[in-house]
Structure 1
Amino acid sequence: MIDKDLYKKTDGVLFNYQVIKMEIKNLELEIEEISSTYNGVGAISYEEKSGHTNKFNSSVENEIINKEKIINKLNREMNSKKRLIAKIDNAMEILNENERKIVEYRCVKGYSWSRIGALLNMDGDYCGRIKREVMNKISSLIWIRESMCKKVGESK
Protein backbone atom coordinates (compact mmCIF):
# COMPACT_ATOMS: atom_id res chain seq x y z
CA MET A 1 0.00 0.00 0.00
CA ILE A 2 1.17 3.54 -0.73
CA ASP A 3 2.01 6.15 1.86
CA LYS A 4 -0.78 8.76 2.11
CA ASP A 5 1.69 11.67 1.98
CA LEU A 6 3.26 10.38 -1.24
CA TYR A 7 -0.21 9.75 -2.68
CA LYS A 8 -1.23 13.36 -1.99
CA LYS A 9 2.08 14.66 -3.30
CA THR A 10 1.70 12.65 -6.52
CA ASP A 11 -1.90 13.74 -6.94
CA GLY A 12 -0.84 17.36 -6.48
CA VAL A 13 1.94 17.29 -9.07
CA LEU A 14 -0.29 15.49 -11.56
CA PHE A 15 -2.99 18.14 -11.15
CA ASN A 16 -0.30 20.83 -11.57
CA TYR A 17 1.57 19.12 -14.42
CA GLN A 18 0.70 21.79 -17.00
CA VAL A 19 1.41 24.61 -14.54
CA ILE A 20 4.86 23.16 -13.80
CA LYS A 21 5.60 23.01 -17.55
CA MET A 22 4.56 26.65 -17.92
CA GLU A 23 6.72 27.61 -14.93
CA ILE A 24 9.71 26.00 -16.67
CA LYS A 25 9.07 28.05 -19.81
CA ASN A 26 8.69 31.24 -17.77
CA LEU A 27 11.90 30.51 -15.85
CA GLU A 28 13.71 30.06 -19.16
CA LEU A 29 12.33 33.40 -20.37
CA GLU A 30 13.29 35.11 -17.11
CA ILE A 31 16.84 33.76 -17.32
CA GLU A 32 17.08 34.92 -20.94
CA GLU A 33 15.79 38.38 -20.01
CA ILE A 34 18.19 38.79 -17.09
CA SER A 35 21.09 37.55 -19.19
CA SER A 36 20.34 39.97 -22.02
CA THR A 37 19.95 43.09 -19.89
CA TYR A 38 23.05 44.85 -18.73
CA ASN A 39 23.20 48.35 -17.28
CA GLY A 40 26.96 48.56 -17.21
CA VAL A 41 28.78 51.79 -16.72
CA GLY A 42 26.62 54.80 -16.04
CA ALA A 43 26.76 57.95 -14.05
CA ILE A 44 28.07 57.82 -10.51
CA SER A 45 25.27 56.94 -8.15
CA TYR A 46 24.87 58.34 -4.66
CA GLU A 47 26.14 55.16 -3.02
CA GLU A 48 29.41 55.41 -4.95
CA LYS A 49 32.14 57.75 -3.85
CA SER A 50 33.89 59.76 -6.51
CA GLY A 51 37.11 59.90 -4.54
CA HIS A 52 39.57 57.28 -3.34
CA THR A 53 38.08 54.34 -1.44
CA ASN A 54 39.37 50.97 -0.30
CA LYS A 55 36.57 49.20 -2.17
CA PHE A 56 37.73 46.21 -4.20
CA ASN A 57 34.73 46.11 -6.49
CA SER A 58 32.57 48.46 -8.49
CA SER A 59 28.88 48.85 -9.18
CA VAL A 60 29.41 47.05 -12.52
CA GLU A 61 31.03 44.09 -10.76
CA ASN A 62 28.26 44.06 -8.15
CA GLU A 63 25.63 44.09 -10.89
CA ILE A 64 27.23 41.14 -12.65
CA ILE A 65 27.66 39.19 -9.40
CA ASN A 66 24.02 39.81 -8.42
CA LYS A 67 22.80 38.78 -11.87
CA GLU A 68 24.83 35.59 -11.71
CA LYS A 69 23.38 34.76 -8.28
CA ILE A 70 19.83 35.30 -9.55
CA ILE A 71 20.45 33.32 -12.74
CA ASN A 72 21.98 30.44 -10.75
CA LYS A 73 18.99 30.36 -8.40
CA LEU A 74 16.54 30.42 -11.31
CA ASN A 75 18.52 27.68 -13.09
CA ARG A 76 18.40 25.45 -9.99
CA GLU A 77 14.64 25.98 -9.71
CA MET A 78 14.10 25.32 -13.42
CA ASN A 79 16.27 22.18 -13.41
CA SER A 80 14.42 20.85 -10.37
CA LYS A 81 11.09 21.31 -12.16
CA LYS A 82 12.47 19.72 -15.34
CA ARG A 83 13.61 16.68 -13.37
CA LEU A 84 10.16 16.40 -11.76
CA ILE A 85 8.44 16.52 -15.17
CA ALA A 86 10.90 13.90 -16.49
CA LYS A 87 10.16 11.65 -13.48
CA ILE A 88 6.42 11.98 -14.07
CA ASP A 89 6.77 11.27 -17.80
CA ASN A 90 8.98 8.29 -17.06
CA ALA A 91 6.59 6.88 -14.45
CA MET A 92 3.65 7.27 -16.84
CA GLU A 93 5.41 4.91 -19.27
CA ILE A 94 4.40 1.89 -17.17
CA LEU A 95 0.69 2.70 -17.50
CA ASN A 96 -1.60 1.19 -20.10
CA GLU A 97 -3.59 3.40 -22.44
CA ASN A 98 -6.76 3.53 -20.30
CA GLU A 99 -4.75 4.34 -17.15
CA ARG A 100 -2.94 7.15 -18.96
CA LYS A 101 -6.21 8.55 -20.32
CA ILE A 102 -7.81 8.47 -16.86
CA VAL A 103 -4.89 10.43 -15.40
CA GLU A 104 -4.92 12.88 -18.30
CA TYR A 105 -8.69 13.41 -18.24
CA ARG A 106 -8.88 13.77 -14.46
CA CYS A 107 -5.65 15.56 -13.58
CA VAL A 108 -4.74 17.55 -16.69
CA LYS A 109 -8.17 18.32 -18.10
CA GLY A 110 -10.11 18.25 -14.81
CA TYR A 111 -13.01 16.15 -16.11
CA SER A 112 -15.58 14.70 -13.72
CA TRP A 113 -15.62 10.96 -13.07
CA SER A 114 -18.92 10.58 -14.93
CA ARG A 115 -17.52 12.33 -18.01
CA ILE A 116 -14.34 10.22 -17.90
CA GLY A 117 -16.45 7.08 -17.59
CA ALA A 118 -18.57 8.13 -20.57
CA LEU A 119 -15.47 8.86 -22.69
CA LEU A 120 -13.90 5.50 -21.88
CA ASN A 121 -17.15 3.48 -21.81
CA MET A 122 -16.58 2.59 -18.16
CA ASP A 123 -18.27 3.31 -14.87
CA GLY A 124 -17.06 6.60 -13.36
CA ASP A 125 -16.51 5.00 -9.95
CA TYR A 126 -14.44 2.27 -11.56
CA CYS A 127 -12.31 4.97 -13.22
CA GLY A 128 -11.72 6.45 -9.76
CA ARG A 129 -10.51 3.08 -8.48
CA ILE A 130 -8.17 2.77 -11.46
CA LYS A 131 -6.72 6.20 -10.70
CA ARG A 132 -6.03 5.16 -7.10
CA GLU A 133 -4.25 2.05 -8.38
CA VAL A 134 -2.27 4.22 -10.81
CA MET A 135 -1.16 6.42 -7.92
CA ASN A 136 0.07 3.33 -6.10
CA LYS A 137 2.03 2.32 -9.21
CA ILE A 138 3.70 5.63 -9.95
CA SER A 139 4.17 7.34 -6.56
CA SER A 140 7.19 5.28 -5.58
CA LEU A 141 8.70 5.88 -9.03
CA ILE A 142 8.31 9.65 -8.88
CA TRP A 143 9.36 9.99 -5.24
CA ILE A 144 12.14 7.39 -5.15
CA ARG A 145 14.16 9.03 -2.39
CA GLU A 146 11.15 9.62 -0.14
CA SER A 147 9.83 6.08 -0.57
CA MET A 148 13.31 4.61 0.04
CA CYS A 149 13.70 6.66 3.22
CA LYS A 150 10.32 5.45 4.49
CA LYS A 151 11.25 1.82 3.74
CA VAL A 152 14.57 2.21 5.56
CA GLY A 153 12.77 3.78 8.52
CA GLU A 154 10.22 0.95 8.61
CA SER A 155 12.89 -1.77 8.57
CA LYS A 156 14.62 -0.46 11.70
Structure 2
Amino acid sequence: MNNTINRIGKYKEILADIGDIDLRVQELEEEILGISGQGMEERTGKTYKITSSVEQQAEKLMERKEELFKAQATKKRELKRIDNAMTILTEEERDIMQIVHIEHRRYYVVQEKLMLSYQRVKQLEKQAAIKMERYIS
Protein backbone atom coordinates (compact mmCIF):
# COMPACT_ATOMS: atom_id res chain seq x y z
CA MET A 1 0.00 0.00 0.00
CA ASN A 2 2.82 2.44 0.82
CA ASN A 3 4.44 1.72 -2.55
CA THR A 4 1.18 2.64 -4.28
CA ILE A 5 0.88 5.89 -2.34
CA ASN A 6 4.53 6.74 -3.05
CA ARG A 7 4.03 6.21 -6.77
CA ILE A 8 0.90 8.38 -6.77
CA GLY A 9 2.83 11.06 -4.89
CA LYS A 10 5.32 11.28 -7.76
CA TYR A 11 2.62 12.15 -10.30
CA LYS A 12 3.67 15.78 -10.77
CA GLU A 13 7.35 14.82 -10.78
CA ILE A 14 6.67 12.34 -13.58
CA LEU A 15 4.82 15.05 -15.55
CA ALA A 16 7.79 17.36 -15.12
CA ASP A 17 10.17 14.59 -16.21
CA ILE A 18 8.16 14.07 -19.41
CA GLY A 19 8.34 17.81 -20.17
CA ASP A 20 12.08 17.81 -19.43
CA ILE A 21 12.62 14.91 -21.82
CA ASP A 22 10.75 16.83 -24.53
CA LEU A 23 13.14 19.76 -24.01
CA ARG A 24 16.20 17.49 -24.13
CA VAL A 25 14.98 15.89 -27.35
CA GLN A 26 14.54 19.34 -28.91
CA GLU A 27 18.08 20.26 -27.86
CA LEU A 28 19.44 17.03 -29.35
CA GLU A 29 17.60 17.64 -32.60
CA GLU A 30 19.10 21.13 -32.81
CA GLU A 31 22.53 19.68 -32.08
CA ILE A 32 22.07 17.03 -34.76
CA LEU A 33 21.15 19.74 -37.27
CA GLY A 34 24.19 21.74 -36.17
CA ILE A 35 26.69 18.93 -36.66
CA SER A 36 25.30 18.01 -40.04
CA GLY A 37 26.63 21.37 -41.21
CA GLN A 38 30.20 20.49 -40.19
CA GLY A 39 32.86 19.30 -42.56
CA MET A 40 32.80 15.74 -43.78
CA GLU A 41 36.47 14.70 -43.38
CA GLU A 42 36.50 10.97 -43.93
CA ARG A 43 38.57 8.34 -42.20
CA THR A 44 38.81 4.59 -42.14
CA GLY A 45 37.53 2.80 -39.05
CA LYS A 46 38.61 -0.58 -37.66
CA THR A 47 36.19 -2.30 -40.02
CA TYR A 48 37.74 -0.46 -42.95
CA LYS A 49 34.39 1.21 -43.48
CA ILE A 50 34.82 4.84 -44.40
CA THR A 51 33.02 6.99 -41.86
CA SER A 52 33.23 10.58 -40.82
CA SER A 53 33.42 11.93 -37.31
CA VAL A 54 30.27 13.93 -38.08
CA GLU A 55 28.37 10.74 -38.87
CA GLN A 56 29.62 9.12 -35.69
CA GLN A 57 28.65 12.12 -33.61
CA ALA A 58 25.20 12.22 -35.23
CA GLU A 59 24.79 8.49 -34.59
CA LYS A 60 25.60 8.94 -30.88
CA LEU A 61 23.09 11.76 -30.63
CA MET A 62 20.42 9.66 -32.34
CA GLU A 63 21.08 6.83 -29.88
CA ARG A 64 20.72 9.28 -26.98
CA LYS A 65 17.47 10.53 -28.49
CA GLU A 66 16.13 6.95 -28.63
CA GLU A 67 17.08 6.40 -24.98
CA LEU A 68 15.18 9.56 -24.03
CA PHE A 69 12.12 8.43 -25.97
CA LYS A 70 12.18 5.06 -24.18
CA ALA A 71 12.44 6.76 -20.77
CA GLN A 72 9.60 9.08 -21.70
CA ALA A 73 7.39 6.19 -22.81
CA THR A 74 7.98 4.47 -19.46
CA LYS A 75 6.97 7.61 -17.59
CA LYS A 76 3.86 8.08 -19.73
CA ARG A 77 2.82 4.49 -18.97
CA GLU A 78 3.24 5.19 -15.26
CA LEU A 79 0.93 8.21 -15.53
CA LYS A 80 -1.62 6.13 -17.45
CA ARG A 81 -1.51 3.48 -14.73
CA ILE A 82 -2.23 6.07 -12.06
CA ASP A 83 -4.97 7.73 -14.11
CA ASN A 84 -6.52 4.35 -14.84
CA ALA A 85 -6.43 3.34 -11.17
CA MET A 86 -8.09 6.61 -10.19
CA THR A 87 -11.11 5.76 -12.37
CA ILE A 88 -12.21 2.97 -10.02
CA LEU A 89 -12.39 5.25 -6.98
CA THR A 90 -15.44 6.96 -5.58
CA GLU A 91 -15.52 10.74 -5.88
CA GLU A 92 -14.50 11.15 -2.22
CA GLU A 93 -11.62 8.69 -2.55
CA ARG A 94 -10.45 10.37 -5.76
CA ASP A 95 -10.56 13.80 -4.09
CA ILE A 96 -8.50 12.52 -1.16
CA MET A 97 -5.84 10.95 -3.37
CA GLN A 98 -5.75 13.99 -5.65
CA ILE A 99 -5.50 16.61 -2.91
CA VAL A 100 -3.24 14.79 -0.45
CA HIS A 101 -0.94 12.78 -2.69
CA ILE A 102 -0.87 14.51 -6.07
CA GLU A 103 -1.25 18.13 -4.97
CA HIS A 104 0.65 17.45 -1.71
CA ARG A 105 -1.79 19.42 0.43
CA ARG A 106 -2.64 18.79 4.07
CA TYR A 107 -5.41 16.54 5.32
CA TYR A 108 -7.35 19.45 6.80
CA VAL A 109 -7.93 20.73 3.24
CA VAL A 110 -9.73 17.49 2.42
CA GLN A 111 -11.55 17.53 5.74
CA GLU A 112 -12.91 21.01 5.04
CA LYS A 113 -13.78 20.27 1.42
CA LEU A 114 -15.55 16.97 2.09
CA MET A 115 -16.73 17.86 5.61
CA LEU A 116 -15.32 14.63 7.06
CA SER A 117 -13.37 13.81 10.20
CA TYR A 118 -9.63 13.13 10.01
CA GLN A 119 -10.25 9.46 10.87
CA ARG A 120 -12.79 9.09 8.05
CA VAL A 121 -10.42 10.74 5.57
CA LYS A 122 -7.64 8.32 6.60
CA GLN A 123 -10.04 5.39 6.30
CA LEU A 124 -11.12 6.41 2.79
CA GLU A 125 -7.50 7.02 1.83
CA LYS A 126 -6.57 3.48 2.88
CA GLN A 127 -9.53 2.03 0.97
CA ALA A 128 -8.53 3.95 -2.14
CA ALA A 129 -4.90 2.84 -1.89
CA ILE A 130 -5.96 -0.80 -1.58
CA LYS A 131 -8.24 -0.50 -4.62
CA MET A 132 -5.53 1.20 -6.68
CA GLU A 133 -2.77 -1.20 -5.70
CA ARG A 134 -3.97 -3.84 -8.16
CA TYR A 135 -3.63 -1.43 -11.10
CA ILE A 136 -0.46 0.38 -10.10
CA SER A 137 1.79 -2.42 -8.78
Range class of TM-score, shorter chain = 0.7 to 0.9
Residue 44 of structure 2 is aligned to residue 54 of structure 1: yes
The match for 2:29 among 21, 32, 35 is 35
* Structure 1: runs of 5 or more not aligned: 1-6, 45-49, 144-156
Q: Secondary structure at the match of 1:39?
A: helix
Q: Secondary structure at the match of 2:65?
A: helix
Instruction: Give the corresponding residue for 2:106.
Output: 112
User: For residue 78 of structure 2, what is the aligned residue in structure 1?
Assistant: 84
Structure with more of its chain in strand, by fraction? 2
Q: Structure 2 CA distance, aligned partners of 1:62 and 1:53? A: 11
Task: State the partner residue of 1:21.
Answer: 15
How far apart, in 2, do the equivalents of 1:83 and 1:110 lie? 22
CA RMSD of aligned residues (A): 1.9
2:2 alignment partner in structure 1: 8
After superposition, the Cα gap between the structure-2 partners of 1:53 and 1:81, relative to the gap in structure 1 and judged at 3 Å, is closer
Kindly indicate whether residue 135 of structure 2 is the aligned counterpart of residue 141 of structure 1. Answer: yes
TM-score calculated relative to the size of structure 2:
0.86
Contact 1:113 1:125 in 2 (8 A): no
TM-score by length of 1: 0.76
Shift of 1:95: 0.8
Q: Does 1:100 align with 2:90?
A: no
Distance 2:4 2:76 in 1: 16
Aligned length: 131
More displaced stretch, 110-119 vs 17-26: 110-119
Question: Residue in 2 aligned with 1:150?
Answer: none
How far apart, CA to CA, are the structure 2 residues paired with 1:30 and 1:126? 44
The 4+ residue runs of structure 1 with deviation greater than 6 A are none
Q: CA deviation at 1:80?
A: 0.2
Cα distance in 2 for residues equivalent to 1:68 and 1:78: 15
Rounded to whole Å, the distance in 2 between the matches of 1:14 and 1:53 is 52
Counterpart of 1:148? none
